[in-house]
């Protein structure tokens, strides 16, 4: 992968300051949302955004209700109908430059973690090893009644409502549907890593609307760590962070990586 020179719209003083903090850091946390995967041509959210922005569905119900845990239990055919639409819209997409640069930090910083709201699995596919998928992974399937689990590249071979080969119950994606709780593993792992603290925390492509997404930035800012927000729009954490980059994830991380390479080359 080629890492281009920094974009002209990004202040080199800011990217150099971020790079210096990363060079000196022993721990870095990346928090990512839909914005980082938008550059892979994935639809961003409002109801897996772009697909249901009008708020209209054939059933006349909000997409959040159709993609809920309650709907999966009561009428899995309807829930799966929209899951299939989303998966088909995302099929064939791949990790982009931003995911690959984040993965490069594994070999640069002693302790690097990624916390993502995305279910596309792109961080792992790009090479990141310590990834907390807060909302699960659309490539993983699990039975609603027994311990059966599987992994698929896409949903092309699945039926309209997949059935468990072990017990005959409905199979569903291993993702957090609307109205469902986050996994204990994700919550506990994030809590444990936050207790250890991070020297640098990035928030990339997320509105930071959920407390478990904004809290790591707030905690890091209180501890005096370097905090960076990469997002074209302002968010609730914008006033708290050390640096704001109002640009896309790929060009911002490319600029930071370029500055970091220069910093590492300087004794």
Non-local (6+) Cβ contacts of 46 within 8 A are 52, 53
Q: What share of the chain has pLDDT > 70, as a percent?
A: 91
Q: Thinking of the domain 12-42+95-135+180-265, which architecture would CATH place it in?
A: 3-Layer(aba) Sandwich (3.40)
* Whether the Cβ atoms of residue 1 and residue 100 lie closer than 8 Å to each other: yes
| Residues in contact with 216: Cβ distance below 8 Å, sequence separation at least 6, in sequence order | 29, 31, 115, 190, 194, 198, 201
Find the distance separating the first CA and the last CA of the chain, reported in whole Å.
Answer: 26
Q: Do domains 12-42+95-135+180-265 and 63-92+139-175 have the same CATH topology?
A: no
Known catalytic residues are: 135
Q: Which pLDDT score, from 0 to 100, does residue 42 have? A: 79
pTM comes to: 0.91
Element (H, E) at 140: strand 136-143
267 pLDDT tier (thresholds 50, 70, 90) = low
pLDDT band at 10 (very low <50, low <70, confident <90, very high): confident
Confidence class of residue 266 from pLDDT cuts 50, 70 and 90? confident
- pLDDT above 60: residue 2: no
Architecture of domain 63-92+139-175: 2-Layer Sandwich (3.30)
Q: Residue 24 — very low, low, confident or very high, per pLDDT cuts 50/70/90?
A: very high
> Would you say residue 162 has pLDDT above 70?
yes
Per-residue pLDDT at 9: 55
What confidence score (pLDDT) does residue 142 get?
A: 97
- What integer pLDDT is reported at residue 41 of this predicted model? 85
96, 13 contact by CB (below 8 A): no
Place of tokens 């005096």: 224
Kindly report, residue by residue over 88-110, the tens digit of the pLDDT. Answer: 888 889 999 999 999 999 989 99
* The pLDDT value given to residue 64: 87
Give residue limits of the domains in the chain: 12-42+95-135+180-265, 63-92+139-175
């Amino acid at each position: 992968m080629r890492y281009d020179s920094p974009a002209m719209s990004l202040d080199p003083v800011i990217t150099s300051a971020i790079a210096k903090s990363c060079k000196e850091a022993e721990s870095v946390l990346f928090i990512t949302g839909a914005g980082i995967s938008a550059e892979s041509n994935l639809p961003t959210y409002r109801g897996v955004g772009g697909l249901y922005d009008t708020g209209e569905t054939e059933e006349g119900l909000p997409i959040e209700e159709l993609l809920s845990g309650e709907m999966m239990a009561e009428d899995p055919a309807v829930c799966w109908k929209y899951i299939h639409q989303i998966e088909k819209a995302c099929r064939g997409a791949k990790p982009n430059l931003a995911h690959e640069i984040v993965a490069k930090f594994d070999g640069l910083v002693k302790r690097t973690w990624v916390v993502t709201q995305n279910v596309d699995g792109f961080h792992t596919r790009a090479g990141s090893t310590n990834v907390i998928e807060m909302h699960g992974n659309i490539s993983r399937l699990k039975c609603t009644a027994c311990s059966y689990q599987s992994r698929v590249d896409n949903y092309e071979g699945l039926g309209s409502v997949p059935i468990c080969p072990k017990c005959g119950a409905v199979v569903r994606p291993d993702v957090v549907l609307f109205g469902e709780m986050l996994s204990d593993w994700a919550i506990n792992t994030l809590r444990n890593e936050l207790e250890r603290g991070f020297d640098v925390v990035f928030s990339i492509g997320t509105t930071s609307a959920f407390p478990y997404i904004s809290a790591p930035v707030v905690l890091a800012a209180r501890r005096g760590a370097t905090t960076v927000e990469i997002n074209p729009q302002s968010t609730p954490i914008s006033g708290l962070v050390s640096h704001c980059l109002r640009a896309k994830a790929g060009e911002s991380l490319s600029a930071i990586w370029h500055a970091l390479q220069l910093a590492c080359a300087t004794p």
